Amino acid sequence: MPKNKKQRVGLRMDMTPMVDIGFLLLTFFMLTTQFRPPEIPEAQVILPTSHSDIKQPESDVMIITVNKDGGVFLSLDSQKLREALLTKKIEENWDKIDPKIKSQYSDPATMAKLVPSFPVQISDLSDLLMQARIRNPKLRTIIKGDREADYGPVMDIMDILQKVNITRFNLLTDLEMQ
Amino acid sequence: MGALEGGGERQSAVMAKNKKKHRKKRIGIRLDMTPMVDIAFLLLTFFMLTTTMSKPSTMEINLPPTETKVEVAESNLITLRVSEKNEIFWNMGVEKPEKISFDGLRKLLSEKLQANPKLIALLKVDRKAKYINMVDILDEFALTNINKFSIAPMQDEDKQIIEKLGG
């Protein structure tokens, strides 16, 4: 009897259902994942938290980022719009742009097409916002401020929004866990 | 040669027949699926770990256009001021402002709203205060169902009022 025990029986389990579920999940995650373009490091922010549960709209958005040092960045989700608005700005400032960022793009037009967010001056903002709204009236404005940011730049942006008649806008926050 | 070739042909024809017969007898093919399944699970874990399910939420704000001016009865107005030291002061109408901690704000707001359902909030934040204060207070407005609020810039008078109180 002890000898018999040592003779292991090749155990064959039917793995088909597990593999099926595995592939199902794989397809699900593959289809739901959307890859975000890598954000330039200066425009990365830690969002404040709130209890609001309105989700960020997916398309037709214009995001104004305020980082913790008060720098302002504009990002548009539509490539066409980005190209139309930013090409001129980038051409003007081509020499001033950080060479590290610049080296990724061959010329101003491609940079305008591909750059995830572009640093803007508050003085230029009203002009850009107005042009963007003319090109796409459905555009929704979102302010994405860092939790460490001062209120000053945000206040300036809200003033500009009010001046260009964007009276409805959103503040981006993370959901507060409580 | 030709005859031989012919014989060869015949032979091959016979072989083909035999093969056909063999083909009809299907052999259960067992393909080793392990590597494929391994790759599939590898991809699965990759996508599971890189997916961020939670999209950031947003707070919606409506500001009146610059031209419009709304007259508000002072008795309905609660003013909240945030100083550059991130302290919160509140007052009803023209009363004297009082300091309040952020934790006590929710209770205060809901009490005031219960006492006066027509309550309108006015938020004034100092330029040097932190942005998160504004978000937090707006969030408190939303939680206490104060739907009518406005955001105004902090004037010098407001700063003086707060300074007098030691803010």
Q: Say if the Cβ atoms of B131 and A147 lie within 8 Å.
A: yes
B121-132 burial code (b ≥16 CB/10 A, e <16): bebbbbeebbbb
**pTM reported for the whole predicted model:** 0.72
- Is the CB of B142 inside 8 Å of chain A's CB atoms? yes
Which residue in chain A has the smallest CA separation from B82? Answer: A151
DSSP conformational letter for B130:
B
| Residue among A29, A51, A142 minimizing CB distance to B48 | A29
| Residue among A142, A155, A170 minimizing CB distance to B153 | A155
ipTM for this model: 0.73
Q: Tell me which of B11 and A159 has the higher pLDDT.
A: A159
Tell me, rounded to whole angstroms, the distance of Cα B23 from its chain centroid: 61
Domain ranges across chain A: 2-32, 43-175
Decide the pairing of beta strands A118-119 and A72-76: antiparallel
pLDDT at A24: 93
Please, what are the domains in chain B?
A: 2-50 (no CATH), 75-164 (3.30.420.270)
Count of helices and strands (H, E) across chain A: 7, 7
- Cβ within 8 Å of B, A 15-44: 15, 19, 22-23, 25-26, 29-30, 32-33
For residue A36 the two structure tokens come to 């975000």
Mean pLDDT across B63-78:
75
Contact (CB, 8 A) for B128 and A151: yes
Longest distance between any two alpha carbons in chain B, whole Å: 123
Contact (CB, 8 A) for A141 and A166: yes
How close is the nearest chain B Cα to the Cα of A131, in Å? 19
Q: Is the pLDDT of residue B90 over 80?
A: yes
- Is the CB of B131 inside 8 Å of chain A's CB atoms? yes
Contact (CB, 8 A) for A149 and B131: yes
The pLDDT-based confidence of A14 (bands split at 50, 70, 90) is confident
Residue B10 CB neighbour total at 10 angstroms:
10
- Is the CB of B47 inside 8 Å of chain A's CB atoms? yes
Q: What are the backbone angles phi and psi of residue B121, rounded to the nearest 5°? A: -105, 145
| Residue among B40, B136, B138 minimizing CB distance to A26 | B40
Tell me the percentage of chain B whose pLDDT exceeds 70: 80
- Cβ within 8 Å of B, A 113-142: 142
- Is the CB of B101 inside 8 Å of chain A's CB atoms? no
Tell me the percentage of chain A whose pLDDT exceeds 90: 4
Chains A and B form CB pairs within 8 A to the count of 141
Mean pLDDT across B98-118:
86
Q: Is the pLDDT of residue A71 over 80?
A: yes
Q: Is the dihedral of CA B161, B164, B165, B167 positive or negative?
A: positive
Separation of alpha carbons A83 and A103, rounded Å: 18
Q: In sequence order, what are the residues at sequence separation of 6 or more whose Cβ sits closer than 8 angstroms to the Cβ of residue A162?
A: B63, B65, B66
pLDDT at B74: 77
Please name the amino acid found at residue A63: I
| Residue among A19, A29, A173 minimizing CB distance to B56 | A173
How close is the nearest chain B Cα to the Cα of A92, in Å? 31
Mean pLDDT across A152-161:
88
Which residue in chain A has the smallest CA separation from B47? Answer: A29
The pLDDT-based confidence of B111 (bands split at 50, 70, 90) is confident
DSSP conformational letter for A74:
E
Q: Is the pLDDT of residue A134 over 70?
A: yes
Nearest of B76, B87, B54 to residue B161 by alpha carbon:
B87
Query: Token pair 């958005």 is at which residue?
Result: A61
